[in-house]
A and B are shown apart, each in its own frame.
Chain A
Amino acid sequence: MNLSNGARESAAAQAAVSVKNVSMRYDDFYAVRDASFDVPKGKFLTILGPSGSGKTTLLRLIAGFGKPTSGEIFIGGQPVSAVPPHKRVIGMVFQKLALFPHMTAAQNVAFPLKMRRHDARTIADQVERYLELVKLGGFGSRRIHEMSGGQQQRVAIARALVFEPDLLLLDEPLAALDVKLREEMQLEFRRIQKELGVTTINVTHDQREAMVVSDEVIVMNDGLIQQRANPVTAYRTPQNAFVANFIGVTNFLEGPATSVSGNEVAFRCAGHELSGISVGSGPEIKAGMSCSGAIRAEQIRVAAAPEKLADLTFRFTGEIIDAIFEGERMVYEVNVAELGGVSFRVFDHDPIGHTQFLPGERVLVGWNPKDMHVFGNNHSPN
């Protein structure tokens, strides 16, 4: 697709936020390296990465706490490096919420409006409306420490949204909550974001959260953007071994590529030639290059009889090392002797048969070439 120059520029103007070649260095250590991305108006973008990958740093730069070492950030098409935080109209929910302990919930929510010198009536109405929006109607007079974790969360969201900012930044605000509440709040985020249509950048290390809430995901590691895609694409066609490993549970096979033709690779592992495998969307692979083949735990099937895996191209024998019952599925650890004794993690959903293999049982594992992705190792980011 070829955009004309003018069209590209208007696309950039359409972007609520545009990060261009931003780096952030502390002494001789780069917390963010050459990050570039746009967030279109009204979209929900998640930056997903392990702890220490530079997510908070990037978010704080967008909010205006600190200047990038190099690069520029545009908000609504305008460069903002000279704009202090309080002049950027950005709502931010902090990792530790940062609610004001000496104020009530309502006073917290009213704070940004007070700072903007709205009149008392407007403030009262608006606070009421936003407390209602986060389902905290009637809790306004509570002190912060009198509220539960989930309620504090909602106050923080209401406070970040009440002044109708152009942009909402979320810095892992759900990390401290227990699983049930976290999943509930994820859906809540999604609902509120859809309802208000506010452009949102969310930061998390929780891949499930990234999948659930986002229109698009940016995967980060060591300050570098690894991949930007919608959740399904990031999951189905990871760009490199890091992304494949970080999102979902992935098994890796190591070996040299033997031949490459178009989008398919053949590669050898423990004397077996595995052919017809998809090339990961990362850098080009050449024959002879050492590679990693990635296959997800749920794309491997396990069975005792070969007939059950008749529709799968690759089949290898192995032995169950561990069997974990997780309720909705079984998780097996299978030692595949035929592939040089690699250990595979396999998710087995068997809602009808309820088959359960026991440790020590000999089984077959199988999968299809199209579900496997090969990445060149010397281009691997880690």
Chain B
Amino acid sequence: MRNSRVAYPLTWRVMDMLENVCARIWPASLHRLLPYLMLLPAVVLVGLLVLGLFQIGDASLRVLDTSTFLFSEDYSLENYRQAITSGFFAVVASRSLMGSVIVTVITLLFALPYAYLMVRTQSSGLRKFLLVALFLPFFIGQVVRAYGWLIILGNQGMVNEALGLVGVPPVRLLYNYPAVLFGLIQYMLPFAVLMLAPALTAIPEELESAAGSLGANWVRTFRHIVLPLARPGLVGAGLVVMTLSLTDFAIPAILGGGSQDFIANAIYDQFFRTSNQGLGAALSLMLVAVGSIMVGVVFAVFGAGTLAMTGGRK
């Protein structure tokens, strides 16, 4: 009879050996710890962020003495008071908040048909085109893209030149609120589409056929079947778009030309222009709070389950 050990292929024996080594280093009794160990990197990263938050919290309570350029030793809420009562910050805050809401609504409005077409089209050519068109902007960074818009929309830009050909005098298309919102929407669209596509893919096409055979035209099929079932995707995409645009820096800075600052721009100015880190820190924390409240409200209204975080629905 042949020796059964020799009969094993070499790779099996190597694997056996490795397994033995692993068992010695990491005995079975420790296996329960493995999941927690894998959580560790994420916990450390988030933990570091929280530490930074404490640092900022500390800074936000110290007031800058403009004569000595030193921060006060003792804590006060002066920075917060200034942030809330100053008309300038109120304008910036409401501009960012309203902007993020408008951007979210319009982006979702545009992204939904795009994602729907991409998921449902019969033609693989069209699907590929839509996918490429979706990913292309990702390869062009935000700043480069904003400059692109400067070239296209500027006073000597392509649009104004084209208008000039038909006799329309140059229009100021840049450095205003609509320009910033436009840039943000254009920037957010791919994110929203990418988050909506899987949600729509998860809706079986047969459900729409069924709705049709039961007497629903496409509008009502969309309203009663597609929209409710796409809700997790819509909520997720909406949250991402809203928080990203609320905290965006480059687009308001470049397309707004300094006249259309969002909160992030104001914070940047405090940190790096006026060097009032206390006030900047206070603004930062208030932004975090506003963002968290917004996410919280969305969860409260739509429920965490809408993000498919509970296992009820198949």
Q: Give the CA-CA distance A88 to B229 in the complex, in Å.
A: 25
Per-position 1/0 for B180-219, Cβ under 8 A of A = 0000000000000000000000001011011111111100
Q: Are B212 and A98 in contact (CB under 8 A)?
A: no
Q: Are A101 and B313 in contact (CB under 8 A)?
A: yes
* Nearest CB of chain B from residue A270's CB, rounded to whole Å: 49
Q: Which of B207, B217, B220, B224 contacts A98 (CB 8 A)?
A: B207
Q: Which residues of A contact B312 (CB under 8 A)?
A: 145
Q: Give the CA-CA distance A148 to B237 in the complex, in Å.
A: 34
Of the listed stretches A7-15, A89-97, A215-223, A277-285, chain B binds A89-97
Q: Which residues of B contact A111 (CB under 8 A)?
A: 211, 214, 216, 224
Q: Are A115 and B229 in contact (CB under 8 A)?
A: no
Q: Which residues of B contact A91 (CB under 8 A)?
A: 213-214
Q: Are B204 and A96 in contact (CB under 8 A)?
A: yes
Q: How large is the interface on A (under 10, 10 to 19, 20 to 34, 35 or more residues)?
A: 20 to 34
Q: Give the CA-CA distance A99 to B211 in the complex, in Å.
A: 9
Within 8 A of B (CB), among A358-378: none
Q: Nearest chain-B residue to A117 (Cβ)?
A: B215
The answer to whether the Cβ of B178 comes within 8 Å of any Cβ in the partner chain is no
Q: Which residues of A contact B229 (CB under 8 A)?
A: 101-102
The answer to whether the Cβ of B225 comes within 8 Å of any Cβ in the partner chain is yes
The answer to whether the Cβ of A65 comes within 8 Å of any Cβ in the partner chain is yes
Q: Are B210 and A115 in contact (CB under 8 A)?
A: no
Q: Nearest chain-B residue to A95 (Cβ)?
A: B206
Per-position 1/0 for B218-235, Cβ under 8 A of A = 001000110011000000
Q: Give the CA-CA distance A111 to B204 in the complex, in Å.
A: 18
Q: Are B207 and A86 in contact (CB under 8 A)?
A: no
The answer to whether the Cβ of B32 comes within 8 Å of any Cβ in the partner chain is no
Per-position 1/0 for A105-125, Cβ under 8 A of B = 000000110011000000000
Known contacts: A96-B204, A96-B206, A115-B220. The answer to whether A101 contacts B314 by CB under 8 A is yes
Q: Give the CA-CA distance A200 to B228 in the complex, in Å.
A: 32
* Nearest CB of chain B from residue A219's CB, rounded to whole Å: 26
The answer to whether the Cβ of A63 comes within 8 Å of any Cβ in the partner chain is yes
The answer to whether the Cβ of A140 comes within 8 Å of any Cβ in the partner chain is no
The answer to whether the Cβ of A100 comes within 8 Å of any Cβ in the partner chain is yes
The answer to whether the Cβ of A248 comes within 8 Å of any Cβ in the partner chain is no
Of the listed residues A101, A112, A145, A163, the one surrounded by the most CB atoms of chain B closer than 10 A to its CB is A101
Known contacts: A112-B214, A163-B214. The answer to whether A98 contacts B313 by CB under 8 A is no
The answer to whether the Cβ of A228 comes within 8 Å of any Cβ in the partner chain is no
Q: Give the CA-CA distance A64 to B207 in the complex, in Å.
A: 15
Q: Which residues of B contact A65 (CB under 8 A)?
A: 209, 212-213
Q: Are A100 and B225 in contact (CB under 8 A)?
A: yes
Known contacts: A111-B224, A115-B220, A145-B312. The answer to whether A98 contacts B206 by CB under 8 A is yes
Q: Nearest chain-A residue to B212 (Cβ)?
A: A85
The answer to whether the Cβ of A296 comes within 8 Å of any Cβ in the partner chain is no
Q: Which of B216, B224, B314 contacts A86 (CB 8 A)?
A: B216
Q: Which residues of A contact B220 (CB under 8 A)?
A: 115
* Nearest CB of chain B from residue A28's CB, rounded to whole Å: 17
Q: Which residues of A contact B313 (CB under 8 A)?
A: 101-102, 145
Q: Which of A64, A98, A116 contacts B210 (CB 8 A)?
A: A98
Q: Give the CA-CA distance A145 to B261 in the complex, in Å.
A: 49
Q: Which residues of A contact B225 (CB under 8 A)?
A: 100
Q: Are B209 and A94 in contact (CB under 8 A)?
A: yes
Q: Which of B206, B207, B213, B224 contacts A85 (CB 8 A)?
A: B213
Q: Are A116 and B207 in contact (CB under 8 A)?
A: no
Q: Which of A86, A95, A101, A145 contacts B213 (CB 8 A)?
A: A86
* Nearest CB of chain B from residue A44's CB, rounded to whole Å: 19
Known contacts: A98-B206, A115-B220. The answer to whether A92 contacts B314 by CB under 8 A is no
Q: Are A159 and B209 in contact (CB under 8 A)?
A: no
* Nearest CB of chain A from residue B143's CB, rounded to whole Å: 42
Within 8 A of B (CB), among A140-186: 145, 159-160, 163
Q: Which residues of B contact A101 (CB under 8 A)?
A: 229, 313-314
Q: Are A92 and B215 in contact (CB under 8 A)?
A: no
Q: Give the CA-CA distance A94 to B225 in the complex, in Å.
A: 16
* Nearest CB of chain B from residue A109's CB, rounded to whole Å: 10
Q: Nearest chain-A residue to B210 (Cβ)?
A: A98
The answer to whether the Cβ of A79 comes within 8 Å of any Cβ in the partner chain is no
* Nearest CB of chain A from residue B209's CB, rounded to whole Å: 5
Q: Are B217 and A84 in contact (CB under 8 A)?
A: yes
* Nearest CB of chain A from residue B124's CB, rounded to whole Å: 13
Q: Are B217 and A86 in contact (CB under 8 A)?
A: yes
Q: Which residues of B contact A92 (CB under 8 A)?
A: 210, 213
Q: Which residues of A contact B207 (CB under 8 A)?
A: 98, 100
Q: Give the CA-CA distance A90 to B207 in the complex, in Å.
A: 16
Of the listed residues B214, B217, B220, B312, the one surrounded by the most CB atoms of chain A closer than 10 A to its CB is B214
Q: Give the CA-CA distance A159 to B211 in the complex, in Å.
A: 11
Within 8 A of A (CB), among B17-62: none
Of the listed residues A63, A98, A163, the one surrounded by the most CB atoms of chain B closer than 10 A to its CB is A98
Q: Give the CA-CA distance A145 to B67 in the complex, in Å.
A: 69
Q: Give the CA-CA distance A98 to B211 in the complex, in Å.
A: 9
Q: Which 8 A-B pairs have the closest CB atoms?
A: A115-B215, A98-B210, A112-B214, A85-B212, A98-B206, A92-B213, A115-B216, A102-B228
Interface residues in chain B, defined as those with a beta carbon under 8 Å from any beta carbon in chain A: 204, 206-207, 209-217, 220, 224-225, 228-229, 312-314
A-B pairs with beta carbons under 8 Å apart, 17 shown: A84-B212, A85-B213, A86-B213, A88-B213, A91-B213, A94-B209, A94-B210, A95-B206, A96-B206, A98-B207, A99-B210, A100-B211, A102-B228, A111-B214, A115-B214, A159-B214, A160-B213
Interface residues in chain A, defined as those with a beta carbon under 8 Å from any beta carbon in chain B: 60, 63-65, 84-86, 88, 90-92, 94-96, 98-102, 111-112, 115-116, 145, 159-160, 163
